[in-house]
Chain A
Amino acid sequence: MEHFPILSFITFFPIVGMIIVLFLPKTRTTLIKGLTVFVTGIQVVAAAVILSLYDYTLGGINDPSTFQFIEKFRWIEIEGFAWLGTIKIDYFLGIDGLSVPMLLLTAIVTFIAAISSWSIDKSVKGYFAMFLLLDTGMMGVFVALDFFLFYVFWELMLLPMYFLIGIWGGPRREYAAIKFFLYTLLGSIFILLVMIGLYFSAQETLADGTKVFTFNILALMDTANYSEIGILSPLNPANLRFIAYLALFIGFAIKIPMFPFHTWLPDAHVEAPTAISVILAGILLKMGTYGILRFSYPIFPDITHQLIWYIALFGMINIIYGALCAMAQKDFKKLIAYSSVSHMGFVMLGMASLNSIGIAGAILQMFNHGTITAMLFLLVGVIYDRAHIRDLDAFGGLANQMPVFTGFTTVAFFAAIGLPGLSAFISEAFVFVGAFGYEPIRALAIISTLGILLGAGYMLWTLQRVFLGSLKEKWNTLPDLTFREYAMLIPLTLIIIFLGVYPSAMLDLMNSSVNQIVRFMDDAKILYGSLGIF
């Protein structure tokens, strides 16, 4: 395994699948579906292999030597012209404790989404080709360590998503798809600008001693690599790092989605087919927070320290605002969408705490929210497949008609309101412990605790409206879960319970990296202080 490029494999294997799908005749739908499930299944296996070989003691973050499964070689090389110098872009993949949970999450959720896609019957070939392309994009985002490469994957994921919502979505799919696309593209432009700015601000020293401009994010984290004239260089007194930070942050914040950039989410979720909602909520939202931890924090530690209170503030707003909005929704999917806004607020609050517990809580919350929301959307899909409506008030008393479905929903809902014994409790508790322990944002943490009250409010209210009470006449023919639905829901339930009882399984995985990022941020405060920047 030493030399097997497993990260490239896990990233590009879906592309191989896509090519095969494209060569298959349109009518062989079962084969196409089966192939997709197989490909994503292989991804899960590969993720498991990565997990088994992963060294828990290595930190990563800014230290190239402690990244694992590194693959690095020159990808683009254009010999110098004019003042640009030589353009050298690396193909640079690697993982640390920040990416491994996300990698696992992506593999699992995509696999389950692939199973869930089995019910697609409109231009199957196109759907699954897009689906696999999307898969590659997502996986790539989490393993790329070169800004340029990251950006390529980031954009790669956007296009299939557009089509998947725009073609296979609900009645207002075009509106939702365009809104999603343009909104995310807006964010991408911000990221692109910062990326180019950084490129011209820092130079990496190659093995032969020559200095070249670089997209390598690990090099961008080191102040020694910056020149004195770069516009985003901390050494340049007239730098534009503050503006660049805001731009980069907004770029990622749109993806989270952070208030007030969140309104694409409810529309996209409501219109997207179930499997795509699952991926959207389960994986795509995490890219925003992942991006902030991977890029904004280590590349701009100085500005991060300056703006930390605002990050926590927006986290708090997300929590409370999302919960209150969720409470007023009548559409099941919209409710879950707003609850996502609320739960991603916990991630932001945890990140803003800048201590081990808070950041570990944030990453854990990313994983847990991924599994729990995926499950919630699957459950909404189950009911929508049967009843063809999602209006909460139209149901009632389903507990007796569909007991197993009710059982799974109850578990998912209880997980979402942070019940102990289920995964989200530990992450939310850690977020609070972390945020409470960081003095500047303590007050925000206290206000945010209201979120768990509101969460209980809207979730239990929903539970009551849909499942409790007496059964309405027209629903007494709804069948309970099918085998395929069991296959999707049982793994997620097991993960939720397992991580609730034994969170160390995930926490140990990220512990070194969390410590590393906290140490890095603390050191940076001193370092930048010595540079006279604070």
Chain B
Amino acid sequence: MTEQLLIKFSILILFLPLIGFIVALLFGKRFSRIYLFENIVLFISFVLSVILVYAKLAYFIDSTITSEIQWITVGSTTIELGIELDNIAVLMILVVMIISLLVHLFSIAYMKGDSRYNRYFAYLGLFTFSMSGIVLTHNILMMYIFWELVGISSYLLIGFWYEKKSASDAAKKAFIVNRIGDIGMLAGVLMLFITYDTFTFDKIFDQISQGILPFNSEFWLTVTGLLIFCGAIGKSAQFPLHVWLPDAMEGPTPVSALIHAATMVAAGVYLVVKVFTMLTGDALFIIAIIGMLSALIPATIALTQNDIKRVLAYSTVSQLGYMIMALGVGAFTFAFFHLITHAFFKACLFLGSGSVIHGMHHEQDIRNMGGLRKKMPLTYATFLISSIAISGVPLTSGFLSKDGILAGTFAFGSLTGHWLFAIVGFLVAMLTAFYMFRLVILTFHGEPRNKDKYDHAHESPFIMVMPLVVLAGLSFFFWYTPNPLDASKGWVVTEWIKPPQISVPENARYDFMKTDILAQDGKIDGYPVSYSQKYTKAVHQAHYPAMLLSLLVAGLGILMAFVIYQWKKLDADKLALKMKPLYNISYNKWYFDEIYDATFVAGTTGLSKLLAKFDLKVIDGIVDGSATVTRGTSTFSGRFDNIVVDGLVNFMAYLSGFIGLIFRRFQTGKVQTYIVMVIFSLVILLFIFKSL
């Protein structure tokens, strides 16, 4: 195993899905089975990524492998294409490949009979390529490029059933809302480039740790970090740009599982992970606040939604907010850990919902479900396991990562006095447990509410259930740690994921990230030190209280769900009536869509209409006006010419004509008259001469 070989593997992993995309797109019409080719190349990519992860973790666990080629040279600037393999990147690529492969398999059955079957797999290939690109790249420009490509493949897949207006609307909305975030990210990338004259992550971070800052100020470093974070706000559907994700559920359900639950939306988190080292304390604090709001608001919305996929979508936003908040408070490792665990169980939940929708013949409203556990036992079992995992019950992966995050917020509270993050964290944990079990109970338990649909429901075929089983299996603790109660004893968060060296100048960091001398010698109480001795201690002190509390709130949430929906001790409808205003806010998603429609959308379209009118009436009016004025002037001068100048000439003619008129009286044409005149004149002349 040489480093070069790993680079070659990663290039293959990257480009095989692209080849699949191109082939499936070009020949999809001619060969109906071309989707198999796409599946096969993806499988190869998957196998290679397993080898890649194994090799990286076995042989190069502490090193970062990079390779680059020159792409563009302009002036004195060179832009490279490159690959950077660190532990985080290879783990991420494995997650992407596992889920992508399972979603491919699931889709083979789920999408059967669709008129654009091959096109669907082509788009999945494009997405997998773009997502791998984000993960593997070593510079932020390439990341932005793949970022946009992911956006476009998401656009294509959300709008896959474009005959539906709602689907094409959702696709458009997703792309445009994402672009808003991307503009911020672009500005951040530009800031980095003009300061450091490179796009490469390593070189940028090196220069930051040498004290080179944008405009020589820590403030601008904060701004730059936040601008880049804007990209994450868009892609990870964070508050206030979270509105696109629930609508994106218009896409096929496997797509929701792959893109809008496990991978693409996690790209935002991955971006923050990637640039974590250059985020100042202030930037992290703002990121934490955004994450907190994104965790809280969608969790409250998810309580009242009735569409099975929308509940999961809001849950996704909430969990992503969790990760972002965790990064904001410095819980780096657990944020990324949660990204991985969440990817598996949320993909499982989405595919499970797909299985339900498939079994119910495209019914998505949970009010029409109920009692499905008998009809779909495997789907039920996997869905339940994933729900337990997301609720944070021990023995599951979700418990480990969530507990870590809660401990992180707890430690942050104890170190800085900002306890709000911890409070919201526990609150959201409870809400999550509640709405997930509401979903499980309403869908699978109780009596069927729609007998007709229930009778026709059936368990999904093997190829759809198998991915569910695999993903549910990955939601157990033993993949990550031997100790089901403490991830810190496991290999993922101690060996594989390590917080990076912070490059930000000391005085711009959080207090607890400042280097203290004791931290240098490796371990404290048998734990490896992260950031500083102070922080490491605080985290471990927070561990047990946080764990107990989180168990408590999760249990409480689950209990409440059972009380209300299973045992019906409390009537949900009455409860809703009692808290009518709160219920309405939640049910109407805090009116975000309405507010945005009324302000930004209406504002932009109104402005565009106004400007178009302005263009037509004023600008073009001036042009046409000047033409009219010119024509008016020319008409006038034409008249002037006609009447005055030419008039003078004509007057002369008229005058002579008039004189002629008088004189033509004498011109009778009769010779005799002339003779009379001659004689008459002669006589007169005679007299005249005579008188002389």
Enumerate chain A interface residues (CB-CB to B < 8 A): 179, 182-183, 259-260, 262-264, 321, 324-329, 355-357, 360, 397, 399-400, 403, 414, 419-421, 425-426, 429-430, 432-433, 436-437, 445-446, 449-450, 452-454, 456-458, 460-461, 464, 467-470, 503-504, 507-508, 511, 514-515, 518
B57 on the A face (CB < 8 A): no
Main SS class of interface, A: helix
Whether B183 lies near A453 (C-beta < 8 A) is yes
Whether B608 lies near A469 (C-beta < 8 A) is no
Smallest Cβ distance from A323 to chain B, in angstroms?
Answer: 8
Smallest Cβ distance from A511 to chain B, in angstroms?
Answer: 7
- Bitwise, B598-611 to A at CB < 8 A (1) or not (0) is 00000011011101
Contacts of B183 in A (CB 8 A): 449-450, 452-453
Contacts of A452 in B (CB 8 A): 179, 183, 186
Contacts of B615 in A (CB 8 A): 263, 321, 325
CA of A515 to CA of B627, assembled, Å = 43
CA of A420 to CA of B169, assembled, Å = 23
Contacts of B144 in A (CB 8 A): 420
8 contacts between A and B (CB under 8 A): A324-B604, A397-B163, A456-B175, A468-B168, A469-B162, A504-B72, A507-B72, A511-B73
Closest chain B residue to A465 by CB distance? B168
- Given contact pairs A264-B623, A468-B162, enumerate 12 new A-B contacts (beta carbons under 8 Å): A259-B619, A262-B619, A321-B615, A327-B608, A419-B148, A452-B179, A452-B183, A456-B176, A458-B608, A468-B159, A504-B71, A515-B75
Whether B163 lies near A470 (C-beta < 8 A) is yes
Contacts of A414 in B (CB 8 A): 152
- Bitwise, B155-191 to A at CB < 8 A (1) or not (0) is 1000100110100110110011001100100110011
Whether B179 lies near A453 (C-beta < 8 A) is yes
Question: What's the interface size class on B, roughly?
Answer: 35 or more
Contacts of B611 in A (CB 8 A): 321, 324-325, 328
Contacts of A511 in B (CB 8 A): 73-75
Whether B604 lies near A327 (C-beta < 8 A) is yes
Whether B75 lies near A432 (C-beta < 8 A) is no
CA of A163 to CA of B552, assembled, Å = 83
Whether A324 lies near B607 (C-beta < 8 A) is yes
Q: Which listed residue (B77, B155, B187, B627) contacts A356, Cβ 8 A?
A: B77
B50 on the A face (CB < 8 A): no
Contacts of A514 in B (CB 8 A): 74-75
Contacts of A260 in B (CB 8 A): 619, 622
Smallest Cβ distance from A405 to chain B, in angstroms?
Answer: 14
Smallest Cβ distance from A442 to chain B, in angstroms?
Answer: 8
Closest chain B residue to A404 by CB distance? B29
Whether B604 lies near A457 (C-beta < 8 A) is yes
CA of A503 to CA of B152, assembled, Å = 21
Contacts of B162 in A (CB 8 A): 399, 464, 467-469
Asked if A449 meets B77 with Cβ closer than 8 Å, knowing A324-B611, A420-B146, A468-B159, the reply is no
B683 on the A face (CB < 8 A): no
Contacts of B29 in A (CB 8 A): 403
Asked if A460 meets B175 with Cβ closer than 8 Å, knowing A324-B607, A468-B168, the reply is yes
Asked if A263 meets B619 with Cβ closer than 8 Å, knowing A325-B611, A433-B193, A453-B176, the reply is yes
Smallest Cβ distance from A523 to chain B, in angstroms?
Answer: 15
Contacts of A425 in B (CB 8 A): 145, 148
Q: Which listed residue (A329, A449, A469) contacts B165, Cβ 8 A?
A: A469
Contacts of A518 in B (CB 8 A): 75
Q: Which listed residue (B73, B605, B623, B627) contacts A327, Cβ 8 A?
A: B605
Whether A457 lies near B176 (C-beta < 8 A) is yes
Contacts of A324 in B (CB 8 A): 604, 607-608, 611-612
Asked if A437 meets B194 with Cβ closer than 8 Å, knowing A183-B623, A454-B604, the reply is yes
- Bitwise, B604-646 to A at CB < 8 A (1) or not (0) is 1101110111010001101100010000000000000000000
Whether B145 lies near A420 (C-beta < 8 A) is yes
Whether B172 lies near A460 (C-beta < 8 A) is yes
Contacts of A460 in B (CB 8 A): 155, 171-172, 175-176
Whether A355 lies near B75 (C-beta < 8 A) is yes
Closest chain B residue to A183 by CB distance? B623
Contacts of B193 in A (CB 8 A): 433, 436-437
Contacts of B604 in A (CB 8 A): 324, 327, 454, 457
Closest chain B residue to A451 by CB distance? B183
CA of A357 to CA of B159, assembled, Å = 36
CA of A450 to CA of B183, assembled, Å = 7
CA of A400 to CA of B164, assembled, Å = 13
B23 on the A face (CB < 8 A): no
Smallest Cβ distance from A420 to chain B, in angstroms?
Answer: 4
Contacts of B2 in A (CB 8 A): none
B360 on the A face (CB < 8 A): no
Whether A357 lies near B168 (C-beta < 8 A) is no
Closest chain A residue to B173 by CB distance? A460
Contacts of A403 in B (CB 8 A): 29
CA of A372 to CA of B86, assembled, Å = 39
CA of A233 to CA of B613, assembled, Å = 44
CA of A454 to CA of B152, assembled, Å = 16
CA of A467 to CA of B159, assembled, Å = 12
Residue of B73, B159, B162, B187 with highest tally of chain A CB at under 10 A: B162
Closest chain A residue to B197 by CB distance? A437
Contacts of B180 in A (CB 8 A): 453
Q: Which listed residue (B152, B171, B172) contacts A419, Cβ 8 A?
A: B152
Whether B620 lies near A449 (C-beta < 8 A) is no
Contacts of B612 in A (CB 8 A): 324-325, 327-329
Asked if A328 meets B149 with Cβ closer than 8 Å, knowing A360-B75, A507-B74, the reply is no
Asked if A429 meets B187 with Cβ closer than 8 Å, knowing A325-B615, A461-B172, A507-B74, the reply is no
CA of A420 to CA of B611, assembled, Å = 30
Whether B77 lies near A357 (C-beta < 8 A) is yes
4 nearest interchain CB pairs? A356-B75, A328-B612, A420-B145, A327-B608
Residue of B149, B163, B169 with highest tally of chain A CB at under 10 A: B163
Closest chain B residue to A397 by CB distance? B163
CA of A238 to CA of B176, assembled, Å = 53
CA of A436 to CA of B627, assembled, Å = 40
Contacts of B609 in A (CB 8 A): 328
Smallest Cβ distance from A432 to chain B, in angstroms?
Answer: 6
Smallest Cβ distance from A269 to chain B, in angstroms?
Answer: 14
Contacts of B608 in A (CB 8 A): 324-328, 458
Whether A356 lies near B76 (C-beta < 8 A) is yes
Closest chain B residue to A421 by CB distance? B149
Whether A432 lies near B73 (C-beta < 8 A) is no
Contacts of A264 in B (CB 8 A): 623
Contacts of A457 in B (CB 8 A): 176, 604
Whether A436 lies near B194 (C-beta < 8 A) is yes
Contacts of A504 in B (CB 8 A): 71-73
B141 on the A face (CB < 8 A): yes
Smallest Cβ distance from B628 to chain A, in angstroms?
Answer: 13
CA of A356 to CA of B169, assembled, Å = 40
Contacts of B627 in A (CB 8 A): 179, 182
CA of A79 to CA of B75, assembled, Å = 46
Smallest Cβ distance from A119 to chain B, in angstroms?
Answer: 27
Q: Which listed residue (A321, A436, A453, A507) contacts B73, Cβ 8 A?
A: A507
Interface residues of B in 644-680 (CB under 8 A from A): none
Q: Which listed residue (A329, A453, A503) contacts B72, Cβ 8 A?
A: A503
CA of A360 to CA of B171, assembled, Å = 34
Closest chain A residue to B614 by CB distance? A325
Whether A420 lies near B187 (C-beta < 8 A) is no
CA of A183 to CA of B75, assembled, Å = 37
CA of A263 to CA of B624, assembled, Å = 10
Asked if A179 meets B168 with Cβ closer than 8 Å, knowing A399-B162, A420-B149, A446-B187, the reply is no
Closest chain B residue to A438 by CB distance? B194
CA of A426 to CA of B146, assembled, Å = 13
Smallest Cβ distance from B597 to chain A, in angstroms?
Answer: 14
Contacts of A321 in B (CB 8 A): 611, 615
Smallest Cβ distance from B618 to chain A, in angstroms?
Answer: 9
Residue of B176, B607, B608, B623 with highest tally of chain A CB at under 10 A: B608
CA of A433 to CA of B76, assembled, Å = 14
